[in-house]
Amino acid sequence: MILSLENVSFKYAYEKIIDDVSFVVNEKDKWGIVGLNGSGKSTLLKLMAEVERPDSGKINILRKFKISYCPQDMAFENGKSIYETVASMVTDISEGFEIKTILSRLGLIEYERLVDNLSGGQRKRLALAIALVRKADLYLLDEPTNHLDQEMIIWLEKYLKNSSSAIVMVTHDRYFLSRITDHMLEIDNGKLYAYEGNYSDFLEKRQLRYDLEKAMEQKRQNYLRNEIEWIRRGAQARTTKQKSRIQRYEKTLEIKGPKEKETLQLKSATSRLGRKVIEINNLSMSFADKRLFANFSYHVLRDDRIGIIGDNGCGKTTLLKIIMKEIQPDSGYVDIGETVRIGYFAQNNAIFDKSQRVIDYLKSFGEIVYTADNEPITASSMLERFLFPKDKQYLPIAKCSGGERRRLYLCSILMMAPNVLLLDEPTNDLDTDTLTVLEEYLEDFKGAVIAISHDRYFVDKICDHLFVFEDGGISLYNGNYSTYLNREKEEKKEEAKREETRKKNKRKGLSYLEKIEYQKLEEEIVALEEEIKTLETELGRQSSYIEMEGIGKILDAKRELLDKKNDRFFELMAKEEE
């Protein structure tokens, strides 16, 4: 056992987040934590990392074990370089050897760049690098895949999978969860539910739990109905047996049944979309002498589902901003149809007035929105569908979690009834349940969707073709993310085979031993030629058949040896010239 929680409770203000829970992490365990935004996932990690202290209960950590924690947000000392920042947090000199390797794997290759000038995504990757460089028995990772491109995610996946350390992580990346975890932990209404297996196993076992809870609640309700009938018939509480039966009924009545699972009932609220949608014509764009893309053209169709993939900094967000006409391209233009209403879900939330109430924020985008069936949806109803019950709608935004604000921002985009959606990393900070329903919503959405995402699961689910940013250009690929990655993997294997064949076929210069052999051969060939001349002269002088036959055999052997030596000599000569 590395750490344990015993009857731990924690609340913010008067709201209980973690309610009397117990939990154990053993060596080599790989735990994934899931739950709705605001359910307490990050809080649980903070309690384990001793960043927060519980209101009640006990957290036991065996001091012989080392714990490394990567929060969602981390403060850095200004004036220090990237390398200095990581090195200053390393306590063991042996850990220092890996600093540059891990930084480069996470795309932080400008080691001397000051942390003051880093973007939000770079700061997140720096926090992850610090957590990984600290050699630990237990890694606590809060959204480790946020702001990582595909190559980084695949590297991190292998790194954590091969690690013998225990891991407890919060992440929305469902492929990542499925491939690394062997245990899942769900936070639901302040309680913890543990499941053995990965994310796929969890989905199946959670449904079994829901079904069992439903069956038990049905049984409880049937019992209560029967007892109520018995009491109505005039049960007298005179005997001990009758008193006991009434007390049992009252206790059963006090039991709270399972809370009905809330889901995002996202019915598409869209406006009419004409034939002409978005026409991209010969777009070219460079930034600081780096070409992002050139001569890119594409006509977006009404039912298009496009995923945009590529490394960080390759120009994906720039393309969306050009479509939104927030940035002017170097050349080319974008023509947008008259009926098009774009909903742009940016990578960073719109700047909230945190003192503003949730309901007032959404009403600023519209009091009512209509579905494709002309069904009106009020701002309050929309919030309820986005898991903001009435009591939460009148809270200030400051009291919402990061994920809840992200969900509120998404809600505000859809409240405007767009018919084209541009989504920039929509999966960041949204919980897995919200993502599942969002994917179902996008499948039914009556309009075009263009999404930037490193989340393979999300892109596989909603997209049927891709814009691939590579080598300073954009190429089109028909298929989802997984088929593209498999194709790319096969191409790399084939290229590796071709390279290996080229290496085998390519003649190299002479090795040290071959040079010695080459020099000796020259001497040996001269000596052999002299011997053959001598034997030929001797053969001409002989008159005895027996003597002639003996010299002839020796002469044949010497000539055969000379041929072999000459062949090897010319082979080495050609190799030396090559």
* Nearest alpha-carbon partner for 54 in 27, 94, 20: 20
pLDDT (average), residues 196-223: 87
Adjacent-strand bridge partners of 486 = none
Lowest mean pLDDT among 248-262, 295-309, 438-452: 248-262
Cβ-based burial of 537 (10 A; exposed 0-12, middle 13-18, buried ≥19): exposed
The token duo for 537 is 């002269």
Grade residue 138 by pLDDT with cuts at 50, 70 and 90. Answer: very high
Confirm if 311 and 468 have CB atoms less than 8 A apart. no
pLDDT exceeds cutoff 60 at 266: no
The token duo for 559 is 């000539």
pLDDT at res. 186:
95
Grade residue 264 by pLDDT with cuts at 50, 70 and 90. Answer: very low
Let me know the angle formed at the C-alpha of 563 by 562 and 569, rounded to the nearest 5 degrees: 85
Helix or strand (DSSP H, E) at 473: strand 473-478
pLDDT exceeds cutoff 60 at 539: yes
* Nearest alpha-carbon partner for 170 in 45, 299, 346: 45
Rounded to two decimals, what is the model's pTM?
A: 0.72
pLDDT exceeds cutoff 70 at 372: no
pLDDT at res. 267:
58
pLDDT at res. 89:
81
The token duo for 337 is 């149809």
The token duo for 405 is 């604000």
For 482-501, what is the HEC assignment?
HHHHHHHHHHHHHHHHHHHH
Residue 281 DSSP SS3:
strand
For the chain, what is the largest distance between any 2 Cα atoms, rounded to a whole number of angstroms? Answer: 147
pLDDT exceeds cutoff 80 at 351: no
Residue 242 DSSP SS3:
helix
Contacts of 543 (CB under 8 A, 6+ apart): none
pLDDT (average), residues 166-186: 94
pLDDT at res. 26:
95
Q: What is the mean pLDDT of the chain?
A: 86
pLDDT exceeds cutoff 70 at 428: yes
Adjacent-strand bridge partners of 225 = none
pLDDT more than 90, % of the chain: 40
Whole-angstrom distance, CA of residue 235 vs CA of residue 343 = 64
- Which is higher by pLDDT, 396 or 377? 396
